[in-house]
């Protein structure tokens, strides 16, 4: 499955992942990148693009 289209902004995507790492280092709380609309789901198919990514914590 190719979830990252050729028009995706790879620099912006990398920046989101880097920001998650920085937040983890600064807070001591694990931050990860999550797809808002998942690309593996029974009813929807999201893409691996910067507008479909968010940083979340795995606390609680």
On whether residue 32 sits in a domain, the answer given is: yes
Instruction: List pLDDT tens digits, range 1-48.
Output: 567 888 999 999 999 999 999 999 999 999 999 999 998 788 888 899
Please report whether residue 25 resides in a domain.
Answer: yes
Q: Is position 48 within any domain? A: yes
Question: Helix-strand-coil percent breakdown of the chain, rounded to 5?
Answer: 35, 15, 50
**What number of CA atoms fall less than 13 Å from residue 49's CA on the CB side?**
10
**Which residue, 18, 7, 55, is CA-closest to 35?**
55
**pLDDT at res. 40:** 79
Tell me which residue range forms the domain holding 34: 10-57
The pLDDT of residue 2: 64
Residue 30 falls inside a structural domain = yes
How many domains does the chain divide into? 1
* 3 falls within a domain: no
Res 39: pLDDT:
80
């Amino acid at each position: 499955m190719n979830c990252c289209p050729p028009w995706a902004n790879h620099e912006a995507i990398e920046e989101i992942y880097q920001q998650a790492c920085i937040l983890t280092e600064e807070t001591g709380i694990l931050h990860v990148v999550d797809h808002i609309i998942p690309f593996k789901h029974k009813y929807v198919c999201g893409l691996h693009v910067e507008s479909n990514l968010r940083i979340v914590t795995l606390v609680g």
